[in-house]
Structure formats: structure tokens, C-alpha cells
Amino acid sequence: MRQALISFAAIYALGIGVVSCGSSSTTTPPVITPSGSFIQIERLARPAVKELFQAFANHDGTNRISPAQQPLSGQTLYQEIGSFTTNVAGRDAAHAATLQAILIPDEVSADLSQPGTGSYLGVETGGATAADKDTFGGRTLADNVIDISLGAVFGNTLSALGLIPDDGKESPCLTTQNVPQQNAADNVTTTFPYVGAPH
């Protein structure tokens, strides 16, 4: 595959006329635009949704569809969110239905009118996922997305938000991964490009 890639790249680079340029400057657009269609092979928005809910064998199918593929309830991931939540996590049907409604279609939501610092699921939960009640939402580099997700699936996050009654079926041993971000200072910076230099 690598050989094929290199051959393709060589031909492609010659055809398009690569414009090389220095950093930190406005550059001249290439003059030739490639034609033809590209077919989606991978898709991602919210972290760890496929990984938690969906059997590995079904990931490829999810990666290849639009997040809006209709009916939403026909998406394999939608169905597996339901079955995992009730059969593996042991929650009630209302809990499963609420997770399905939040997580499908799979997108990261952000409110660009908000001045906050960002917090995973901040828009969907009205700011409940951050101590400062941030409603910009999105997802920051430092967010503990695993703990936030575990709280929604195995903990009482949804009932605490008033979305559903508490079904009393929390799994405390699965409500936190119990590890903080390591080397946080290496991973997050205050200036562009904001994510830390490679090790």
C-alpha cells in the first residue's frame, strides 16, 4: 500500500503544481484543483462513543455513513447505544432513550456566541459538565471526556440534570476512569497551535 501511495503522490504532485512557501505568511493558492469524488472512510465527532457502545465489527459501517443517515433509529450505533445501555450497563429504557437522543446524530456542539473556555457536552447539558457552567461547549484538550461520558452512561448525570428520574442502577466502579491527564503542561499551550509539541 505504501508503494501505491508514493506512486500516486508523485503523479499527483506533478499534476497539481505544488506551491511551496514559508511559514507565517499568506500564500499563493495552487492553480489546479483536483477533479473527481472522494468517498468517506472514517468519521468522528464525540469521543469514545463507538468505542464504548458499539461492537468492533460494526465500527467500519458507522465510519462510512453520514451522521444524519435516516432514520436515525436505523443507525447501528443508535441501536447499540440502546442495547448496551440496557443489557450491559443495566440501566432502564428511559436512560437508554435519553442517551440515544443526545448522542445521535454524532456531532460536537459549540455555541459561538458564548465567551466561555469550552467544555465537552456544555451545550447539550446547559453548562453542567464544567465547574464554571461553561456553555461554549465544544471540546477542549484538557476535558476528561471519558469521565464525563462514564457519568452519563453508568452514573447519575442524566438524572441530576433532571432529564430522567434516577433509576437507581448506577455502577460506581464505572463512573470514573480514575486517572487525570498526565503531563498536562506538555499537551496544552496558551498560544497557537495550542496543542503541545511532540515528544
Partner 1 sequence: MKLRSGALGGLAAIVALVLTGIVYNLLPVRGSDHQDSPTTVARPGADITDVFVYPAASPSNVVLQMDVDPLLAPGGPTTTAALDPQVLYQFKIAHGAPGVEDTVIQFLPTGAGTGQSINVYGPFKPTTTGTTNTVGTPVGSVPFNATGGVTLSNGLKVFIGPRSDPFFFDLFAFFKFLPDRNYKTPGTSAPAGTPFSFNFTPTEIAANPAFASCLVGTPTDALSSNHFNVLSIVVEAPRSLIAPSTGSSKINVWATTSTTTGS
Q: Which of residues 118-177 bind partner 1 (CB under 8 A)?
A: 118, 123, 136-142, 144-146, 171-174, 176-177
Distance CA(149)–CA(118), nearest Å, equals 16
Cβ count within 10 A of residue 77? 24
CB of 34 or CB of 162, closer to partner 1: 34
Distance CA(161)–CA(157), nearest Å, equals 6
CB of 154 or CB of 158, closer to partner 1: 154
Distance CA(68)–CA(104), nearest Å, equals 8
35 contacts partner 1 (rule: CB under 8 A): yes
Phi/psi at 128 (5° precision): -75, -15
Residue 132 C-beta: closest distance to partner 1, Å: 13
Could you give the 3-state DSSP secondary structure of residue 188?
A: strand
Phi/psi at 28 (5° precision): -85, 125
Q: Taking CB under 8 A as the criterion, which residues in 10-29 touch partner 1?
A: 10, 12-13, 16, 18-29
Query: What track of x and - describes contact with partner 1 for positions 91 through 110 (by CB under 8 A)?
Result: --------------xxxxxx
CB of 3 or CB of 162, closer to partner 1: 3
Give the count of residues interacting with partner 1 (CB under 8 A).
103
